[in-house]
Amino acid sequence: MIDINLIRTNKELVKENIKKKFQDEKLPLIDEVENLDKKIRELKTKGDTLRQERNNISSEIGMLVREKKVDEADAKKNEVNEINKQLVEIEQEENNLSILLREKMMVIPQIIDESVPIGKDDSENVEVKRFGEPVVPNYEIPYHSDICEALNGLDKESAGRTSGNGFYYLMGDIARLHSAMLSYARDFMIDKGFTYCVPPFMIRSDVVTGVMSFKEMENMMYKIEGEDLYLIGTSEHSMIGKFKDQLIDEEKLPIKMTSYSPCFRKEVGAHGLEERGLYRVHQFEKQEMIVLCKPEDAMDWYNKMWSYTVEFFRSLDVPVRTLECCSGDLADLKVKSCDVEAWSPRQKKYFEVGSCSTLGDAQARRLAIRMKTENGNKYLATLNNTVVASPRGLIAVIENNYEENGSIKIPKALQPYMGGKEKIELN
């Protein structure tokens, strides 16, 4: 949610930002918000004037009572009662308009960073840099689900019976490799100075609307029937929500945390579920990182955070690249975002395994997270980034470490988490 002062002082900037995101249908919102804001401020002024008038009359009543001028005092009391009625009406109207104003403000996108490339959708995202040499071996690499099934590590058929499409059983050494990646990711981030956390896997609606846009919420979140609780789509949601309504001393910033959680997503929209494999599913596990910092430090942390994910995957012998998200591909709360994509030697192209975003003060405004400074209380900046999400990360490791005989080399970084095992081999 942007600062209302931007609309008061520079609404053309806000409109231009909407155009850059190719959301012209939202342009009328700016004038609507401006008019609502004026009405609310007029009501506040009117209310303040009436309260002052009431105070003055109340003082007069006291004098009249002391002078035993009962009739005049009663007349003044009637004036106070009329003012009170007007104030009730004004406060009710002000409250209704404030709710409407907030609803409209929640839909206006955050001002994007000047460095963000302009483009309509993800097809216009821009490659920034490659890390590691993409290799295509001189032998065929099967589809990842076929590799896992051959190693007795995947059962989607049984999951279809228990849970439906979009679910799976991981078993044996494949399941162990999946867990090893997450454990390694946890320790990797702890070594970077992040505090480890296992958060709640369900959050209330006021936290959901504080951390994401309504469109994202509709397409992603599962609601618990009969309760004000949602299953998290990523631990960022509950991790940022942890600081809701908090005033944090400036000296305690930055706050750096890394969290493990299962994640649940509807996967509604153009992409849909993947029928056969594990790339787009309803349930997965993830190691995440979040940072709360001073706004002026946000871009430095953004660059550190995505570089950690690159370093993580390179330590697993997986070539990766970074892809700058264009304006039309940015969610409404994001200031800037990039994807980390892993090389697929089977497909001979890259695919997304992580995403890093700086959201400016958008989430902080929605959740009332502020920092205490010498010059008063201010909103801080929030950032989030995927360390690894599995099974996507698992697919990347399997494909890039697949051998011609059907076995999988276990990267050295993961071997301690696999009991020293160096390969997953066919029985």
Q: What is the pLDDT of residues 182-233, one digit of tens each?
A: 999 999 999 999 999 999 999 999 999 999 876 777 778 899 999 999 999 9
122-424: same fold as 4-105?
no
Q: Is the pLDDT of residue 348 over 90?
A: yes
| Top CATH class, 4-105 | mainly alpha
Q: What is the pTM of this model?
A: 0.90
The predicted-structure confidence for 247-256, as pLDDT tens digits, reads as follows 999 999 999 9
Q: What average pLDDT does the segment 96-121 reach?
A: 95
> For the segment 63-87, what is each residue's pLDDT rounded down to a tens digit?
888 888 888 888 888 888 999 999 9
Domain boundaries, the chain: 4-105, 122-424
CATH code of the region 122-424: 3.30.930.10
Confidence of residue 105 (pLDDT cuts 50, 70, 90): very high
Say whether the peptide bond before residue 254 is cis (omega within 30 degrees of 0).
yes
